[in-house]
């Protein structure tokens, strides 16, 4: 059973520890997860920006997801960072996270190519179509050069495209500050 994502309380964006051989340090990662749970974290974000997403290979990301979900053992929700610059890799990460038992995925807008508002929406819609878990839309303009706003994600809904059942985009900026309205 996957712990339901609730955007309440403090979710800690944890680091991904490495050992001296530059490999994922599973023991340290498990201890860090237990420490966060014992300290009262409402949920954890793994392989996010502070979790070295871009420094991990796809197989290392999958291993970090598996370890986090196993160690949390449904005690708190696990949100997985899916922070690639393109939709296909984000979809792959979101699908894997959902199958592994993650509660939600944190997604940046597609960056590097500087998409239009319709392109940003399409990116999020494709990720939503790929995995049956909630998406937390991550507004990090300093890294992507794109400022997200609720109006960007709502435009295609007014054009007749419906959100997948149970999906609602929640936009948070750095530090969890709500964006738009």
Residue 152 and residue 110 in contact, taking contact as beta carbons nearer than 8 Å:
no
Backbone angles phi, psi at 42, to 5 degrees: -75, -25
Give the domain extent around 114. 11-176
pTM of the predicted model as reported, rounded to 2 decimal places = 0.83
| CATH number of residue 167's parent domain | 3.20.20.70
Largest CA distance in the chain: 53
C-alpha 21 chain-centroid distance: 27
**Calpha distance 163→31 (Å, rounded):** 38
Residue-level pLDDT, tens digit, the chain, 181 residues: 577 888 789 999 999 999 999 999 999 999 999 999 999 999 999 999 887 888 899 999 999 999 999 999 999 999 999 998 889 999 999 999 999 999 999 998 887 777 888 888 888 888 988 888 998 888 877 777 877 777 777 654 434 444 444 444 444 444 444 444 3
Closest C-alpha to 76, from 179, 2, 173 = 2
- Let me know if residue 2 belongs to a domain: no
Q: Which residues pair with 65 in a beta bridge?
A: none
Total count of domains within the chain = 1
pLDDT attached to residue 40: 97
């Amino acid at each position: 059973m996957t712990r339901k994502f609730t955007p309440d309380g403090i979710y800690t964006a944890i680091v991904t520890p490495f050992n001296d051989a530059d490999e994922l340090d599973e023991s340290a990662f498990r201890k860090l997860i237990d420490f966060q749970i014992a300290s009262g974290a409402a949920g954890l974000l793994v392989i996010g920006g502070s979790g070295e997403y871009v420094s991990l290979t796809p197989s290392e990301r999958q291993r970090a997801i598996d370890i986090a979900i196993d160690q949390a053992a449904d005690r708190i929700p696990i949100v997985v960072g899916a922070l690639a610059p393109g939709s296909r890799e984000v979809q792959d990460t979101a699908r894997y996270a959902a199958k592994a038992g993650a509660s939600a995925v944190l997604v940046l807008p597609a960056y590097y190519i500087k998409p239009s508002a319709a392109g940003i929406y399409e990116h999020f819609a494709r990720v939503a179509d790929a995995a049956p878990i909630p998406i937390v839309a991550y507004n990090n303009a300093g890294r992507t050069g794109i400022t997200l706003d609720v109006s960007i994600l709502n435009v295609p809904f007014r054009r007749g495209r419906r959100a997948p059942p149970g999906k609602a985009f929640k936009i948070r900026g750095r530090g969890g500050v709500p964006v738009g309205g």
